[in-house]
Amino acid sequence: DWTTKDYIDHAVEEIRKTVGKSRVILGLSGGVDSSVAAALIHKAIGKQLTCVFVDNGLLRKGEREAVEKLYGDHFHIDLRVVDASKLFLRRLKGVEEPEQKRKIIGNTFVNVFEKSLKTIGHAKFLAQGTLYPDVIESVAIGNNPAALIKSHHNVGGLPERMKLKLLEPLRELFKDEVRAVGAELGLPREVVWRQPFPGPGLGVRVLGEITKAKLDVLKEADAILMEEMKTTEWYWKVWQSFCVFLPVKSVGVIGDERNYSWVIAVRVVESIDAMTADWTRLPYDLLQRISNRITNEVRDVSRVVLDISSKPPATIEWE
Output 82 or 274, the one with its CB closest to ligand XMP: 274
Output 169 or 199, the one with its CB closest to ligand XMP: 199
Output 42 or 60, the one with its CB closest to ligand XMP: 60
Output 168 or 317, the one with its CB closest to ligand XMP: 317
Output 22 or 309, the one with its CB closest to ligand XMP: 309
**Of 164, 50, 198, which Cα lies nearest the Cα of 116?**
50
CA atoms within 13 A on the CB side of 254: 14
Residues 6+ apart with CB under 8 A from 182: 32, 35, 36, 39, 191, 192
Shortest gap between Cβ of 70 and ligand XMP (angstroms)? 21
| Residue 59 near ligand XMP by CB under 6 A | no
| Residue 102 near ligand XMP by CB under 6 A | yes
Q: What residues are designated binding site?
A: 29-35
Output 22 or 310, the one with its CB closest to ligand XMP: 310
Which stretch in 134-142, 219-227, 278-286, 310-318 sits in contact with ligand XMP by CB under 6 A?
310-318
Shortest gap between Cβ of 315 and ligand XMP (angstroms)? 3
* Contact pattern for ligand XMP over residues 242 through 271, marking x by CB under 6 A: ------------------------------
* Contact pattern for ligand XMP over residues 183 through 202, marking x by CB under 6 A: -------------x-xxx--
Shortest gap between Cβ of 108 and ligand XMP (angstroms)? 14
* Contact pattern for ligand XMP over residues 207 through 246, marking x by CB under 6 A: ---------------------------------x------
Shortest gap between Cβ of 274 and ligand XMP (angstroms)? 4
**Of 314, 223, 219, which Cα lies nearest the Cα of 269?**
314
| Residue 103 near ligand XMP by CB under 6 A | no
3-class SS letters over the chain: CHHHHHHHHHHHHHHHHHHCCCCEEEECCCCHHHHHHHHHHHHHHHHHEEEEEEECCCCCCCHHHHHHHHHHHHCCCEEEEEECHHHHHHHHCCCCCHHHHHHHHHHHHHHHHHHHHCCCCCCCEEECCCCHHHHHHHHHHCCCHHHHCCHHHCCCCHHHHCCCEEECCCCCCCHHHHHHHHHHCCCCHHHHCCCCCCCCHHHHCECCCCCHHHHHHHHHHHHHHHHHHHHCCHHHCCCEEEEEEEEEEEEEEECCEEEEEEEEEEEEEECCCCCCEEECCCCHHHHHHHHHHHHHHCCCEEEEEECCCCECCCCCCCC
Q: What residues are designated binding site for ATP?
A: 29-35
Output 125 or 318, the one with its CB closest to ligand XMP: 318
| Residue 317 near ligand XMP by CB under 6 A | yes
Residues of this chain, 130-169, that bind ligand XMP according to CB under 6 A:
149-150, 152
| Residue 107 near ligand XMP by CB under 6 A | no
Shortest gap between Cβ of 277 and ligand XMP (angstroms)? 7
Q: Which residues bind ligand XMP (CB under 6 A)?
A: 102, 149-150, 152, 196, 198-200, 240, 274, 311, 315-317
